[in-house]
Amino acid sequence: PVEVLVVGGGPAGASAAIYTARKGFSTSIAAERMGGQVMDTMGIENFISVPYTEGPKLAAALERHIAEYDIDVINLQRAERLIKASETGGYHEVVFENGGTLKARSLILTTGARWRQLGVPGESEYAAKGVAYCPHCDGPLYKGKRVAVIGGGNSGVEAAIDLANIVKHVTLVEFADTLRADEVLQKKLRSMKNVDILTSAATTEITGDGEKVNGLRYKNRETDEEQTVELEGVFVQIGLVPNTEWLRDSGLNLTKFGEIEIDHKAATNIPGIFAAGDCTTVPYKQIVIAMGEGSKAGLSAFDFLIRNEAP
Ligand code: FAD
């Protein structure tokens, strides 16, 4: 058993583990894939103080920083179940897919999230070649170009407003016959001159020239007609799914979207269990935010451990 077990090896997990190791606590970090979503990212231009880096480079830097400390790294292990301690200060247990278990008096959960995909032809083929999921990250790459945003909920409409300020033209594509975003956002979007809104439009394909995206095909669900929009980028905004399915029966409070509920100190409803980054209720899912939240969770774990002796 260790004092702190961090589950998840993205920016939040790396940050949490470094903070608790620096406090002198025995720390392990277990992850399905070290680096997390950062491994799937091409250019990163908003990691403050580093004007430009690339995902795999940042992931390698995270691993190097972890290796500076006495942190036990357990890579390629997927957590399947959490058994909470029977009393405050006792050992929580995490059961992994391979049947192994790890015990720790404090857990920091940082299992991140994944963007929900459309599942249409061209989407995976052109990922990072015109298909994007994060307007804060990739919006500026489409300056002066034409893009579509798929999804008419709050995140889709917010993304369309954001992008319309940067790019030449935005087509918002919604499957249902109305947008679901808040009225104030819809009003703002409708007031923008370089935006078209399509409703009852089922995206059927993202097309490209083999190198990058050149269009989007959709079916008008009222007329059954197939239409094409020429463009250079497609932002898919149909939901961010937290990787918390494994926590469903753990006793942890999750929102209806599956996010782990945390307070301003990254504490969950179970004493000794903290959470950070994209798997939590923290707003705005970004690398710098995940790192800040991870350090917060690490400091809260420290605070918990010095106040609660093992029973
Ligand atoms: P993640 O990075 O998702 O890491 C989660 C970790 O948990 C991983 O190690 C994963 O393997 C592990 N894990 C998951 N489930 C389990 C399990 N059951 N058991 C064990 N381990 C598990 N943000 C920016 O700030 N700038 C950008 O330019 C940017 N570009 C992006 C581009 C793309 C394509 C994507 C997908 C995201 C981008 N983001 C960007 C968002 C950013 O990557 C995330 O906000 C950030 O990585 C969140 O960090 P995290 O540590 O909370 O989670």
- The reply to whether 225 and 248 lie within a common domain is no
- Same domain flag for 42 and 143: no
Q: Write down the pLDDT at residue 86.
A: 96
Q: How far is CA 202 from CA 123, 165, 196, 275, in A?
A: 14, 25, 15, 37
Residue 121 located in a structural domain:
no
User: 148 and 230, same structural domain?
Assistant: yes
Q: Count structural domains, the chain.
A: 2
286 lines ligand 1 (CB under 6 A): yes
Ligand 1 binding pocket includes 79 (Cβ within 6 Å): yes
Tell me how far the alpha carbon of residue 278 lies from the centroid of ligand 1, in angstroms: 7
Ligand 1 contacts CB of residue 41 (under 6 A): yes
Residues 96 and 12 in one domain: yes
* Helix or strand run (H / E) with residue 223: none
In this structure, are 110 and 258 located in the same domain?
yes
pLDDT in tens, 83-99: 999 999 999 999 999 99
Any domain includes 124: no
pLDDT score at 311:
87
Please report the DSSP string for 72-125 in residue order. EEEES--EEEEE--SSTTS-EEEEETTS-EEEEEEEEE---EEEPP---TTTTT
Same domain, 208 and 292: no
Q: Which atom of ligand 1 is nearest to the CA of 38?
A: 43
Residue at 120 is within a domain: no
Whether the CB-CB separation of 15 and 63 falls below 8 Å is answered with no
Residues 59, 145: one domain?
no
What local confidence, expressed as pLDDT, does residue 13 receive? 98
How many Å apart are CA 146 and CA 231, to the nearest integer?
5
Q: 3-state SS string over 129-192?
A: CCEECCHHHHHHHHCCCEEEEECCCHHHHHHHHHHHCCCCEEEEECCCCCCCCCHHHHHHHHCC
CA 59 – ligand 1 centroid, Å: 10
Same domain? For 181 and 211 the reply is yes
Atom of ligand 1 nearest to the CA of 288: 25
Asked if the structure places residue 122 within a domain, the reply is no
193, 217, 236 - which closes a domain: 236
How confident is the model over 25-34, as a mean pLDDT? 98
Boundary residue ending a domain (190, 213, 236): 236
Residue 125 counted as domain residue: no
Sign of CA dihedral 280, 298, 102, 269: negative
Are both 13 and 104 inside the same structural domain? yes
Instruction: Give the residue numbers spanning the domain of 71.
Output: 2-115+240-307
On whether residue 149 sits in a domain, the answer given is: yes
Residue minimizing CA distance to atom 47 of ligand 1: 37
The token pair that represents 27 in the structure block: 């720390």
Reported as a single tens digit per residue, the pLDDT across 240-261 is 999 999 999 999 999 999 999 9
Nearest protein CA to atom 6 of ligand 1, as residue: 8
Length of the chain, please?
A: 311
Report the separation in Å between the CA atom of 219 and the middle of ligand 1, taken as the mean of its atom positions: 33
**Helices 183-190 + 154-164 axis angle, to 10:** 30
Domain-embedded: residue 269: yes
Residues 185 and 147 in one domain: yes
67 in any annotated domain: yes
Q: Is the pLDDT of residue 41 over 90?
A: no
Report phi then psi at 13, rounded to 5: -65, -45
Q: What ipTM did this prediction achieve? A: 0.99
Whether 78 and 170 map to the same domain: the answer is no
**CATH classification at residue 290:** 3.50.50.60
Q: Is the minimum distance from the CB of 168 to ligand 1 under 6 angstroms?
A: no
Last residue of a domain, one of 206, 236, 266: 236
- Residue nearest atom 18 of ligand 1, based on CA coordinates: 79
Percentage of residues in the chain with pLDDT exceeding 90?
Answer: 98
Confidence category of residue 231, pLDDT binned at 50, 70, 90: very high
Judgement on whether residues 247 and 227 belong to the same structural domain of the protein: no
Closest CA to 6 of 31, 39, 37, 34: 31
Tens digits of per-residue pLDDT, 163-199? Answer: 999 999 999 999 999 999 999 999 999 999 999 999 9
Is 173 close to ligand 1, i.e. is its CB under 6 Å away?
no
Nearest atom (ligand 1) to Cα of 279: 52
